[in-house]
Amino acid sequence: MSAENADPLGSAARFTHPYAVVDVETTGLSPTRDRVLSIAVVLTSPDGIVEGRWSTLLDPGCDPGPVHIHGLTRQRLAGSPTFAAVVDELADLLAGRVLVAHNAAFDWRMLAGEALRIGRTLPVEWRLCTLTLASRLGLELTSLRLAALAAHWGIAQRRAHDAEDDAEVLAALLPRILERAGEQYLELPLTRCGVEREGIAVYPPRYSASGRPPPCQYHNPGPLAPGAPLVQGMRVVFTGPTTTERAALADRAAAAGLQVSANVSRRTSVLVTNVPDGATEKARAAARLEIPVRDERDFLALLEAVAPGDPVAELVTVSAGPPAKAEAAGPPEPVGRQE
């Protein structure tokens, strides 16, 4: 940032770019194997004023997955458009805006995965994760889930895990979060997304053809403490039979920002197992090294509220400053390595 853009306290200039607040519901958590079932977008100005809304259900061409969570049955989705049928309209909505979502890496990668499946890319260059930003506001809440933030600011949430309602709730929260960040002169944790530049396709990390998760993007914070949440970057090892397919457990852990490992070591944060103590070599190793152990049910519950971690690569940052009403003026300047 140039000196002329800095205020007397040393923070960067006001952020003046419009947002596209996004939420998706999906068949699962893998961007290469699972499908998007619904998309909701709320367009806002830099200071959070709603400028437009758009949403759609999608026909995924497969089983809709956890209907008990999102409520999207085959019958409800029947007759909906495919992603290919709406991609142009979606691209027009996202172009020139910062994508905002609660756990934005997940929403972005699911949308990018759908686009890649049909040989397309989406014109999104930057994303802002409100979960990460909220963790820096000093709110002293026991949870930073969307429902907890909505309750904190008195915003009604009518239907959790409904893309349209979740996007509306987050759009209502956004100006409050930005205002608090501006008051504290915090920098916005903007992350660069995969885009197509000069004919060269640059995409976000993907699952490999073998189905193994990509390298973790967060530093390992150490072992899971009693009563504490999982934190992005924690190293997880599975052993023994599980009710959920092992690959699906690994997918969910990796999508939440955890590092899935095949072997127990001193860097292991938690061992997940349903078998009695010492029933497997990994369990015996965990006992010797005093590695925390959780069963599958507890682990899945902890996955519902994984705390933000410390990224391995520097995030691109732009100061929130006091919410600005100025007209957007070009893309933010990168200040560090790409994600």
Confidence grade of residue 14 (pLDDT, cut at 50, 70, 90): low
Residue 3: what pLDDT? Answer: 34
Class level of CATH domain 3-206+311-319: alpha beta
Q: Is the pLDDT of residue 297 over 70?
A: yes
Give the pLDDT confidence score for residue 292 in this predicted structure.
94
Q: What is the pLDDT of residue 228?
A: 92
Among the listed residues 178, 159, 163, 231, the one whose alpha carbon sits nearest the alpha carbon of residue 48: 178
Instruction: Sort strands 50-57 and 36-44 into parallel, antiparallel or unpaired.
Output: antiparallel
Do residues 56 and 38 touch, judged by C-beta distance below 8 A? yes
Whether pLDDT at 243 is above 90: no
- The tokens for 229 are 């949440």
* pLDDT over 60 at 38, yes or no: yes
Q: Characterize 198-224 residue by residue with b for buried, 16 or more Cβ atoms within 10 angstroms of its Cβ, and e for exposed.
A: eeeeeebbebeeeeebeebbbebbebb
User: Fold for domain 235-303?
Assistant: Rossmann fold (3.40.50)
Domain with CATH 3.40.50.10190 in the chain: 235-303
Where is pLDDT greater, at 280 or 82? Answer: 82
Q: What is the pLDDT of residue 98?
A: 94
Cβ-based burial of 44 (10 A; exposed 0-12, middle 13-18, buried ≥19): buried
pTM of this prediction?
Answer: 0.59
pLDDT higher at 99 or 13: 99
Give the residue-averaged pLDDT of 81-106: 94
Tell me: the pLDDT tens digits for 313-332? 544 444 455 444 333 334 44
**Tokens read off for 336:** 């560090």
Q: Start-end ranges of CATH 3.30.420.10 in the chain?
A: 3-206+311-319
Q: pLDDT tens-digit profile of 94-142?
A: 999 999 999 998 999 899 988 888 878 899 989 999 999 999 999 989 9
43-80 per-position pLDDT tens digit: 999 888 899 999 999 999 888 988 888 999 999 999 99
Instruction: Give me the mean pLDDT over the 215-227 stretch.
Output: 89
